[in-house]
Amino acid sequence: MKVLESNFMQGFMRMADDGWQQGWHERNGGNLTYRMKPEEVEAVREDLSFDGEWKDIGTTVPGMAGEFFAATGSGKYFRNVMTAPEDSCAICEIDDKGEKYRVCWGLVNGGRPTSEFPSHLMNHEVKKAASGGKHRVIYHAHPANTIALTFVLPLTDEAFTRELWEMATECPVVFPSGIGVVPWMVPGGRDIAVATSELMKQYDVAIWAHHGMFCSGEDFDLTFGLMHTVEKSAEILVKVYSMTGGTKRQTIQPDEFRHLAVDFGVTLPEKFLFEK
């Protein structure tokens, strides 16, 4: 099977285009990776090349040894993924030590996978272990309302989780473990990768202050839906702040969250159910 005919690549391309259509990927902003299933690798193996140069990842991810990833390319535009996928995307293989990668498909005009590849791989390693192998998608985008809130809310997990939970009843059901927050750091390096992977041990969402959002999920729909829900909640909060100057007449209370958790069968950490 050709890579572009496969269901996983069709889903990868659609998700990239959905993010572009939402306005989350100005210029070459954002990145997406998908940890392929063994049967997906086998289905497209004849379309892959295994004579590419092995290159340093920039970190060590032994838990990803031997895995294959679909990834957007560094400097590539999400708006071009649907029309020029072989230029905009890659399939990469990780070596048997989790130290190097090689491009097996794509990036036909040269280049390398996203500059956030080390961050993605470190977080894939964490989420693979935490989810029993179920999580396969890591997605980073620049949703405007979420970024705007990093200038006005305290940069704490508690502040962001509680405020965004309050904006829509579905939010604590969609992201019951909460949201982690990374203070501003230079993107693309090991430090932000380490900080994010620490948060992703307990959350599926991390917000990078003044930069964007980082989400993990089992498949394309769940991961995109997670980011979409967080950004919709942020948009509501921005509107509430704009209308009231930050004062709410009424909102969802801690005991109401507890009742919601019982009815929907989710566990909400008590650290987010504080009295204001």
Closest by CA to 73, choosing from 35, 39, 116, 34, is: 116
Count of CB atoms within 10 A of residue 219's CB?
16
Q: Alpha carbon 145 to chain centroid distance?
A: 16
Cα separation, 82 vs 85, whole angstroms: 6
Q: Which residue has the tokens 């993605």?
A: 120
**116 is known as an active-site residue:** yes
> Following DSSP, what letter does each residue of 105-154 receive, concatenated?
EE-TTS--B-TTHHHHHHHHHHHHHHTTT---EEEEE--HHHHHHTTTS-
Residue from 40, 67, 93, 116 carrying the catalytic annotation:
116
Beta-strand relationship, 180-182 and 31-35 = unpaired
Task: Tell me which residues are annotated as active site.
Answer: 116
